[in-house]
């Protein structure tokens, strides 16, 4: 048994919060590569809706890999993976070691069974193939990934065996949870929007909690309105059903206002899609760092105690 198999055979799955910013998603990708990716893994599958962060995850896992769905490279033809197949088995010194394919995009140009043949051929030649929307390719491919990653509200990392999980199983989980991630991100930006409009000047860090977000302050903010007023103002914006739209890779628009955002594709279409926003009415003190934490939650979990948000019974 290869050394990598001995090390990984007991790994069922690992779950991370799915970050809502480009940099944080890339950092998580780097961490996943360091902890879970084996040099012997030839087929890496990613599952998730468009905009969930798959491409940024790949950039963190494989720095320098040319992604075929990048805005600057989407028209590059032929697809490098198909070009490899057309090279009649070329495994020369100058051929690439790792290839990327976005099945959802490529299906508009190439039949799925042809893509599956190209992936099987590349893997048989010792190449590594990173496949976005792996669940769409799996029925034609006839084999599972060595490492399978699903991205929804959470990032699920698993090493499938003969007994699963199937890509469709991961897809069912992450597709269902993604709307909560969109709601959370939009509520997070709305809350910051309200607090900045009301005079908040202190810098703070962003962090995650299940179905919610955390603002982490070095010192307790001197914000004249109380947190009740902040929550009410955010809920007023939600009831107003204001459009939220992508502007560019660093900004969204909240109505007509331009707003800095590090994950502009991960939003609901309008504030009215955010359900049950709740803001904790006091700042929590993190005992190790002594930082002040402000916690916001969306969805039915807003009624839970703060201490219960990450409890195992809610996972």
What pLDDT was estimated at residue 1?
41
* Cβ-based burial of 16 (10 A; exposed 0-12, middle 13-18, buried ≥19): middle
What pLDDT was estimated at residue 3?
42
What pLDDT was estimated at residue 210?
83
Tokens at 209, concatenated:
């909690």
Tens digits of per-residue pLDDT, 244-293? Answer: 999 998 999 999 999 999 889 889 999 999 999 999 988 999 999 999 99
Domains in the chain, please, with CATH? 3-165 (3.40.50), 180-314 (3.30.980.10)
Tokens at 90, concatenated:
């070329």
In DSSP terms, 218 is beta-bridged to none
Tokens at 62, concatenated:
């494989």
What pLDDT was estimated at residue 135?
96
What pLDDT was estimated at residue 315?
36
What pLDDT was estimated at residue 6?
46
In DSSP terms, 155 is beta-bridged to 16, 151
Distance CA 102, CA 38 (A): 22
Tokens at 130, concatenated:
């990173």
Question: Residue ranges of the chain with pLDDT lower than 70?
Answer: 1-9, 70-77, 85-94, 224-225, 301-315
Tokens 């299906």 belong to residue: 107
């Amino acid at each position: 048994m290869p050394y990598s198999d001995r090390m990984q055979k007991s790994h069922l799955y690992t779950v991370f919060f799915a970050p809502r910013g480009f940099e944080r998603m890339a950092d998580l990708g780097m961490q996943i590569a360091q902890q879970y990716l084996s040099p012997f893994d030839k087929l890496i599958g990613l599952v998730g809706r468009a905009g969930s962060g798959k491409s940024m995850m790949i950039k963190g896992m494989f720095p320098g890999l040319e992604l075929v769905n990048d805005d600057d490279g989407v028209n590059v033809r032929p697809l490098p993976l198909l070009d490899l197949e057309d090279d009649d088995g070329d495994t020369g010194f100058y051929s690439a070691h790792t290839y990327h394919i976005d099945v959802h995009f490529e299906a508009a140009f190439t039949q799925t069974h042809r893509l599956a043949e190209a992936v099987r051929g590349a893997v048989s030649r010792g190449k590594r193939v990173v496949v976005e929307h792996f669940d769409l390719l799996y029925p034609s491919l006839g084999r599972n990934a060595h490492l399978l990653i699903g991205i929804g509200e959470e990032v699920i990392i698993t090493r499938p065996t003969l007994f699963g999980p199937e890509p469709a199983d991961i897809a069912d989980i992450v597709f269902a949870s993604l709307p909560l991630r969109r709601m959370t991100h939009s509520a997070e930006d709305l809350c910051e929007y309200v607090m900045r409009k009301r005079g908040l000047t202190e810098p703070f860090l962003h962090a995650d909690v299940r179905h919610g977000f955390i603002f982490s302050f070095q010192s307790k903010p001197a914000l004249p309105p109380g947190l009740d007023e902040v929550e009410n103002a955010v809920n007023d914006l939600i009831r107003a059903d204001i459009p939220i739209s992508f502007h560019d890779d660093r900004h969204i628009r909240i109505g007509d206002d331009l707003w800095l955002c590090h994950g502009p594709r991960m939003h609901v279409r309008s504030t009215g899609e955010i359900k049950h926003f709740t803001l904790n009415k006091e700042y929590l003190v993190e005992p190790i760092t002594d930082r002040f934490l402000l916690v916001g939650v969306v969805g039915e979990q807003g009624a839970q105690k703060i201490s219960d948000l990450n409890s195992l019974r809610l996972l």
